[in-house]
Amino acid sequence: MQWLLLILLIAVVGFVISAYNRLIALKGETLNSWKQIDVQLKRRHDLIPNLVNAVKGAMDFEKDTLEAVIQARNQAVKIQADASPTGGMQALAGAEAALGAALSRLNVVVERYPDLKATGNIGQLQEELTSTENRVAFARQLYNDTATTYNVKQQQFPWNLVAGLAKAETVELYEIEEPKEREVPVVDLSMKPKA
Amino acid sequence: MSAANLFEQQRRNRNRSAVLIAVFIVFFAWIGFGADGTLYLQSAGAEPGQYRHTFPFIGIAATLLAIGMTLFAWKNGAKQVLSATGAWELITPSTDEERQFVNVVEEMAIASGLPKPKVWIVPDDDPNAFATGSDPKTAHLAVTRGLLTTLNRDELQAVVAHEMAHVRNLDVRLMTLLAALVGVIAIISDVTIRGLRFGGGGRGRSSGGGKKGGGGALAIVLLVLWLVTVILAPFISRILALAVSRKREYLADATAAQFTRNPAALASALQKIEHAAAPTKAIKHGTAHLCITDPLGRRVTNKEGFIADLFATHPPMARRIARLKQMAYQYEKTGKLVEPAL
């Protein structure tokens, strides 16, 4: 009888230790991939003044577009400062999406000036910008995947019993709620003349 | 690819690497101790005072040599492979293409969650790419100059993702060990055969003059067996190298799609590489199985069936492309990446 109890005790302790370690490891991975997003966003924010300076002279008459980019960037920098996996992700994702939109408008404008693209280092800056956008996207992909695993694990039985001990909290995903993107496009194939 | 699938593949690669090392060392031990055995039986009937081969020092030396070479291959295999292709390391990119390449590698390092590998360029105009190294932390990724000029950004990204998939699945460890050890076996076998042809005449004369020992028949059997192993070793090790690399190409294609979420880009990259069918001259036989497509441009690669399965380093290109297109179609429709069944 005592033997059985002892074996049971060892099994329980063993499980608690391994579950605890698993949760801590997942937490570490989640924070790590979050840091990656942070680094890449900072890179993006640092790049924008360079880009703006490079095109400013040639595009005096497109001031609004430039102004919008700078504002969106400053807004994003402010919000990034207090975002973390457990809070502020939605706001950050929103601010970054707004910045992305402003940047792509600027890109459209730059495309209209072939001379601008040929001279100076705009071509290089554009490659840097593309790469940075990709890095943010891939960092986000990795973060969302790890964070989802972490969230699911800490709620699953029996890991949820140890979640409090490991100070595991549900983390927010880096997602943008854009109702427009989710809408099903209406396709009209009837070829009827529009009334 | 699910996490379970990934761990399974990593475990399999670890095991296969261990088996490969064991087989390599046993092979050397067999050659060494076989030579000892033959000498022992030949000299067993020698008169007192003459040399008798009793201590198996050839076998011990060969085994130690094999262990040493494995350690060397583990540490320097990647460098051997890279220097065999004449690649140079890209440290500070100077052209737009190089900058783009370095950027793409960094992006894929982020997507795969691995440290950024060292980046190399092979001076060859045929598009091809490979990864090497015995650990994800010290991996190397090399592409030919032709690849950089042929592919657009998305396609280059897909190819780099495919190589990063090999790194993450630990395929590169096994492949690099294979490349290094297969090379060594080929050389050893070559040298031994030449040595025997040379020394064989001398022994024939001396045994003609002397009398036959008691273990004569046994010695001959052992000698023949030993010779057969030495002669067949290069073929066997080559087939081993080929067999190991085909299935994992499908897996790496699927993992690459997981990293980029863009299976269509890899499909079109493979198509472009396929069209530039000129052999990659810088890449030799011994490293063929490391590349994204068969660098030797062999016809057998595009066939199916038993012979092709035995001798091709890569699965048929048409099938790889078809699988990727299937994945792309599914992804467009359902938003989920599912690897098609084999």
Per-residue model confidence (pLDDT) at position B39? 83
The reply to whether residue A127 touches residue B106, judged by beta carbons under 8 angstroms, is no
What mean pLDDT is reported for chain B? 80
Q: B9 with B251: CB under 8 angstroms? A: yes
Sorted by sequence, the CB contacts under 8 Å of residue A105 that are 6+ apart come out as: A65, A68, A69
Per-residue model confidence (pLDDT) at position B162? 95
How many angstroms separate the CA of residue A132 from the nearest CA in chain B? 8
Helix (H, G, I), strand (E, B) or coil at B26: helix
Q: Given A33, A138, A149, which is nearest B107 (Cβ)?
A: A138
- Predicted-complex ipTM score: 0.74
User: Does any CB of chain B come closer than 8 Å to the CB of residue A123?
Assistant: yes
Distances from the Cα of B137 to the Cαs of A103, B83, B109, B156, B170, in angstroms?
35, 20, 11, 22, 11
Higher pLDDT, B212 or A30: A30
Provide the b/e sequence for B81-120 (b: ≥16 CB within 10 Å). Answer: bbebbebeebeeeeeeebbbbbbbbbbbbbbbbeeebbbb
- Tell me how many residue pairs between chain A and chain B have CB atoms under 8 A apart: 37
Task: Locate the domains of chain A by residue range.
Answer: 12-173
User: Does any CB of chain B come closer than 8 Å to the CB of residue A155?
Assistant: no
The highest-level CATH class for domain B89-171+246-334 is alpha beta
Q: A45 with A184: CB under 8 angstroms? A: no
Give residues 124 to 153 of B whose Cβ lies within 8 Å of A: 153
Compute how many other C-beta atoms are within 10 angstroms of the C-beta atom of residue B250: 17
Express each pLDDT in A62-102 by its tens digit: 778 888 888 999 988 888 888 888 877 888 888 888 888 88
Rounded distance, CA B324 to CA B328, Å? 6
Distances from the Cα of A145 to the Cαs of A91, A175, B110, B112, B153, in angstroms?
20, 12, 13, 11, 25
- Say which CATH superfamily domain A12-173 falls into: LemA-like domain (1.20.1440.20)
The reply to whether residue A127 touches residue B104, judged by beta carbons under 8 angstroms, is no
Per-residue model confidence (pLDDT) at position B312? 67
User: Does any CB of chain A come closer than 8 Å to the CB of residue B74?
Assistant: no
pLDDT of A7 strictly over 60: yes
Which residues of chain A does B153 touch, with a Cβ-Cβ cutoff of 8 Å? 130
Among B98, B107, B155, B163, which one carries the catalytic annotation?
A: B163
Express each pLDDT in B170-188 by its tens digit: 888 888 888 777 777 767 7
Helix (H, G, I), strand (E, B) or coil at A83: coil
Which of B100, B105, B110 would best serve as a mutation to test chain A binding (most A beta carbons within 10 A)? B110
Rounded distance, CA B210 to CA B48, Å? 14
Higher pLDDT, B211 or B220: B220
Percent of chain A with pLDDT over 70: 85
User: Does any CB of chain A come closer than 8 Å to the CB of residue B106?
Assistant: yes
Strand pairing of B118-122 and B140-144?
parallel
Per-residue model confidence (pLDDT) at position B212? 45
Rounded distance, CA A22 to CA A38, Å? 24
The reply to whether residue B99 touches residue A36, judged by beta carbons under 8 angstroms, is no
Would you give the distance in Å from CA A29 to the centre of its chain?
15
Sorted by sequence, the CB contacts under 8 Å of residue A138 that are 6+ apart come out as: B107, B108, B110, B111, B259
Give residues 86 to 115 of A whose Cβ lies within 8 Å of B: none
Helix (H, G, I), strand (E, B) or coil at B254: helix
Average pLDDT estimate for B57-62? 87
Task: Locate the domains of chain B by residue range.
Answer: 3-84+173-244, 89-171+246-334
Rounded distance, CA A95 to CA A92, Å? 5
The reply to whether residue B106 touches residue A141, judged by beta carbons under 8 angstroms, is no
What chain A residue is nearest to B260 in terms of C-alpha separation? A138
Per-residue model confidence (pLDDT) at position A173? 86
Q: Where are the alpha helices (DSSP H) in A57-121?
A: 63-81, 89-111, 114-118
Per-residue model confidence (pLDDT) at position B157? 95
